[in-house]
Amino acid sequence: MECEKCNGTGRIQNPPDPPHPPTYKRCSCMLKQDILKNVERGMKGLSNFPKVENSPLMEVVDKNVVVTAGREFLPHLRHVAVRMPPSWNFKITSDAELVTAWLGSIALKGKDILDADAYMVSTKYVTITDLVTPPDLLIIKMGVKTARNQAASEVLAEAINLRTHPTINRPTWIWEEPHHPLNSGHMFWSDQLGFRLAEEFSRVKDLADPGGVKKPGAVKKFGIKGSPIKKSRKTLRGGRE
């Protein structure tokens, strides 16, 4: 059935203000459509993921978090995205894409690219800045990059630096896999990165599956086995408990 307010046109004329030509505003019936369009812009197919009743991610839309989750992350992301305005600019990138962007800037300087993934380098993103700065929320999926690169941890640290810089100051979610956590055994890990995460990031884990088999997840302090700053380097490198 057509919307009665706009007769299905999706727009409503503002009060006339002669001699100016008529202006229009969007009808509220367009909102749902616009939101779904935005959800799909962020990730194709995301709007079709199953519904979850609630999500701890709603509490951290404007916060820096490390989310430990498998595929159940996506229904939770859908839950958040359909509740945000259509103008909400969220972006999913990956650890691999960050390195690729970084390699791209090296290639531009005419240096040799020493990386097994070099074939992916394009001019699509000229620098990491171009890739990570614009989104309102940047989601970095870890575990996509498999070929080792010496600069990996610096590249991730640079992305976080750019996001948390006072002139940008926008939230970042780092999405790590439960069986491949971002710790001392991870290609992107460095002690310095660990300090940053401990100071500026919270942790979200145990997200409920759609259908609610697990308990809803909870937001906690990131923490690396107690207070990382007081721990010795040796302990930090000790891996998971």
Contacts with Zn ion by CB under 5 A lie at 3, 5-6, 27, 29
Nearer to Zn ion, 3 or 198 (CB): 3
Nearer to Zn ion, 6 or 80 (CB): 6
Residue type, 192: Q
Report how far apart, in Å, the C-alpha atoms of 59 and of each of 54, 62, 125, 141 are.
10, 8, 31, 20
3-state helix, strand, coil in the chain (%, to 5): 35, 15, 55
Handedness of CA 34, 40, 45, 47 (dihedral sign): negative
CB of 105 vs Zn ion, minimal distance in Å: 46
CB of 26 vs Zn ion, minimal distance in Å: 9
**Phi first, then psi: what are they for 174, rounded to 5°?**
-100, 120
**Pair 222, 174: CB distance under 8 Å:** no
CB of 20 vs Zn ion, minimal distance in Å: 23
Torsion of CA 56, 58, 59, 61, to 10 degrees: 130
CB of 15 vs Zn ion, minimal distance in Å: 18
Nearer to Zn ion, 5 or 111 (CB): 5
Nearer to Zn ion, 27 or 43 (CB): 27
Give the residue from 174, 152, 153 showing the smallest Cα distance to 163: 174
Question: How many whole angstroms separate alpha carbon 156 and alpha carbon 110?
Answer: 23
Nearer to Zn ion, 29 or 43 (CB): 29
Q: Which residues fall within 8 angstroms of residue 109, CB to CB, at 6 or more apart? A: none
Nearer to Zn ion, 4 or 17 (CB): 4
Question: How many whole angstroms separate alpha carbon 108 and alpha carbon 112?
Answer: 10
CB of 42 vs Zn ion, minimal distance in Å: 25
CB of 24 vs Zn ion, minimal distance in Å: 12
